[in-house]
Amino acid sequence: MKFNTKVIHGGQHHDPSTGAVMPPVYQTSTFVQTSPGQPLNPDYEYSRAANPTRSALENALASIENGTRGLAFSSGLAATDCVLRSFKAGDEIIAMDDLYGGTYRMFTRIYKDSGIKFHFVDMNDLEKFKSLINENTKMVWVETPTNPLMKLADIQEIAKITKENNILFAVDNTFATPYLQKPLDLGADIVMHSATKYLGGHSDVIAGALIVKDEALGAQLHFQQFATGATLGPMDSFLVLRGIKTLHLRVQRHCENGAKVVEFLNNHPKVKTVYYPGLPSHPYHEIAKKQMSGFGGMVSFTFVSGKKEDAIDFLEKVKVFTLAESLGGVESLANHPALMTHASIPEDKRKEIGITDDLVRLSVGIEDADDLIEDLKQALA
């Protein structure tokens, strides 16, 4: 199947008992057993371990990322936490220097006393990256494109290094989605999504996902999920699965609108720098062309004035764009990373990686592009 067919049919089956085209919401905590230890259906005993609605979503996740197993979680951070539970004191993890604030917070505050050592590095400096690898290095974690500076990492090149050193390689594919980028095909071992974002696509659910290529790794991660309990409920699973079925159409429009918004911002006298991998001026534009089939709907920009007040003034004036955290929904959202999504990152660290106080991040939705540009124009006026 090609991707546009996979999002609708990949890994999916009509309900065997009724013929329902969409999987029913199996709103049940437990399943009948015919004898002690003998469930009526061997796949289902208790919904924390497996639920038919969640299974339908997990099969779809595996299909669209070209993996062998998908796992659905109660949030993207729950999915990330499940991966980290694979490691012990003394292990080391190398992570990209520009990360979602919640990921950085988890790495540096929740796991700070566990004995796991984290290194943060610009993953485009491959020599610096390789210099950090030692016998204790167990995983590399990257986002590409990153949140909020749209930095990219060359998945294929990093995968070559991790395979040579027998290190797990995980990619947060939230911004790109499997419509634009498939990390497992490029050599990654684990793909993570905040399914709250583009996969769900309608700002009505909190969910996370992991997809893997190796079946043994999938079984290990499923055990960790089962044992710790961060599973996605059946109704939320249904909502994400519904969202996936229109993913290709939505992301295509996100890309089209994103390009138009970038063109407007890039020529506006009050805008200093636009961060968007589709721009030829973007430092990692060539990597984007190499590993992505489109450039997405996420855009960040700064002001010529460099003033935090100008960013706040702009965000208070937008009308079609909504001032809110999150991204990837059908509606356009605007965000101030330093005060909102990345406030948990210390100020000196934010400045070091380039998250300035005048930085604005836009999640360009699927509205009419002319209305979005008119809104930006009046808010910047």
Residues marked as catalytic? 48, 100, 172, 197
Q: Kindly state the tokens that stand for 136.
A: 């204790």
Q: How far is Cα 85 from Cα 71, in angstroms, rounded to an integer?
A: 15
3-state helix, strand, coil in the chain (%, to 5): 35, 15, 45
User: Is residue 298 a contact partner of residue 145, using CB atoms and an 8 Å limit?
Assistant: yes
Please, is 319 exposed, middle or buried when counting C-beta atoms within 10 Å of its C-beta (0-12, 13-18, 19+)? Answer: exposed
DSSP state of 209: E
Give me the residue label for tokens 């990322």: 65
Q: How far is Cα 334 from Cα 332, in angstroms, rounded to an integer?
A: 7
Number of neighbouring beta carbons within 10 Å of residue 56: 23
Q: How far is Cα 67 from Cα 65, in angstroms, rounded to an integer?
A: 5
Q: How far is Cα 174 from Cα 181, in angstroms, rounded to an integer?
A: 10
User: Is residue 303 a contact partner of residue 271, using CB atoms and an 8 Å limit?
Assistant: yes
CA distances to 45, 152, 160 from 326, rounded to whole Å, are 35, 20, 33
Coil, strand or helix: which one is 270? coil
Q: How far is Cα 29 from Cα 10, in angstroms, rounded to an integer?
A: 26
Q: How far is Cα 174 from Cα 31, in angstroms, rounded to an integer?
A: 34
Number of neighbouring beta carbons within 10 Å of residue 252: 16
Coil, strand or helix: which one is 69? strand
Q: How far is Cα 12 from Cα 327, in angstroms, rounded to an integer?
A: 27
User: Is residue 298 a contact partner of residue 280, using CB atoms and an 8 Å limit?
Assistant: no
Beta bridge partners of 33: 39
Coil, strand or helix: which one is 350? helix
Q: Kindly state the tokens that stand for 351.
A: 């400045």
